[in-house]
Copies of this chain bind each other. A is one copy, B any other.
């Protein structure tokens, strides 16, 4: 709280006068939850947490902060996993009061929502209008659309529907100087100049503050079938994926990978969960086919492909979840996998992607490299196999000191990210860069690309007041990127 002393005090008074005392919070107890992030890896500080009610108030906050030279750190549900919402001085701009669904246009198959809408609320509103809004991720009950946009969120439906970028047609953004760009168009085609929308999506609040968006809606799936297969290796799983993609096309809506270790810890920690196949296998995949057609015969399609793969030994065993209850039980195994890792001690996490053609090789090579590096480490590589996106997490050896284990984070990251990099992959598939990967990005990103990013940052935020220190490292006294653990 050392910086911006008297300037800060004057700014707070100005903001209170416009937003109301109740919406400019400074008491420690009021702002405490906004200074940390989900995993407790970082703890920041802030002059205040401001809670504007609409885009005009957001614009006012930005104007005043720009005048005062005070940083602005936007927050939605504060569920991010890369420290992108942690403030290091300045003002936290909470967007939770901008939570209106402004419009649903069923014929255009779009909805216009404000940044503070909870993802689940948006999914439900789409459902009530007879449509599907497909973005689906673990924190959907508390994350907000603005955060989904700022991080170009992914999740389990990307294989079929794309990530947040692909689900967005238009944006409304407040710029660093407080001007409002109204790009809320619901057009499928628009070639009138540079693609501003995609510049802000995924920029993690460092180029502008997204206040609303026009989202795409899709026909609801009326038929669905789920399967759980066991394979001898990720290589076999990849061959099965390829055949399903060719046969089912866009009816293939999920192909999620899990290792035997993942199944083991779900069974151990989740009461009521049941091993889906009789025997243990090296690799598992949760497969879903769906269609808007009520009478689509997805089950025969899936059985045909899996039957053939079984004959050839690519699939060792399989079970079909044809009822909704069976389907949910199978999905449950996948969905609980994130949380149960916490119960196995320290976990060093990586959110990486490689070309789909190399995803099996990546799992294989990276697993062996980590096991050699630290005998006893338990690799939990799982996730969106069909997108080439693996959550490559490493549970600590049984009995090791947790803090000591977590102090190896940087060393393991180098090993895993080097392998990813060699495979022309990405060190952040869906979580973003934020703080935790800012310096890793400098290490791995093409220098020309980094320089372009800096040019864009300077062009759109010349004062460096939008979420400074995140994504691109500009200026001095940057907050430390690697989490303080132990």
A316 at the interface (CB under 8 A from B): no
Say if the beta carbon of A381 comes within 8 Å of chain B: no
Given the contacts A246-B219, A355-B187, A166 and B166 also touching, CB distance less than 8 Å:
yes
B110 adjacent to A449 (CB under 8 Å)? no
A 386-426 to B, binary, CB cutoff 8 A, 1 in contact else 0: 01110000000000000000000000000000000000111
The chain B residue with its CB closest to the CB of A193 is: B453
Which of B301, B356, B449 contacts A108 (CB under 8 A)? Answer: B356
Given A108-B357, A247-B293, A249-B293: A195 in contact with B199 (beta carbons within 8 A): yes
Q: How far is the CA of A218 from the CA of B387 in the complex (A)?
A: 14
How far is it, in angstroms, between the C-alpha of A455 and the C-alpha of B109 when the chains are bound?
33
Q: Is the beta-carbon distance between A193 and B163 smaller than 8 angstroms?
A: no
CB-defined contacts of A151 to chain B, threshold 8 Å: 191
A154 touches B199 (CB 8 A): no
Interface centre among A384, A425, A426, A452 (most CB of B within 10 A): A452
**A441 touching B192 by the CB < 8 A rule?**
yes
Q: Is A471 an interface residue (CB 8 A)?
A: yes
Contact yes or no, B107 A238, CB < 8 A: yes
Interface: A183 (CB within 8 A): yes
- The 0/1 profile, CB within 8 Å of B marked 1, for residues 211-225 of chain A is 000000011000000
Contacts A105-B357, A198-B198, A249-B291 given: A191-B429 contact, CB under 8 Å?
Answer: yes
Query: Which residues in chain A, 209-264, are within 8 Å of chain B measured between CB atoms?
Result: 218-219, 238, 242, 245-251
Give residues 445-486 of A contacting B (CB, 8 Å).
Answer: 445-446, 448-450, 452-453, 455-456, 458-460, 471-472
Q: How far is the CB of A289 from chain B (nearest CB, A)?
A: 11
Residues from chain B with a CB closer than 8 A to the CB of A238 are 107
**A189 interface neighbour in B158, B293, B453, Cβ under 8 Å:** B158
Q: 1/0 per position for A269-312, CB-CB distance to B under 8 A? A: 00000000000000000000001110000000100000000000
Contacting residues, chain B, for A354 (C-beta < 8 A)? 187
Smallest CB gap from A184: residue in B: B424
Residues of B within 8 A of A158 (CB): 188-189
Query: What are 16 A-to-B residue pairs whose CB atoms are below 8 Å?
Result: A152-B195, A154-B189, A154-B191, A165-B195, A180-B448, A182-B448, A185-B355, A188-B356, A189-B353, A190-B353, A193-B441, A194-B202, A195-B198, A195-B201, A246-B292, A456-B459
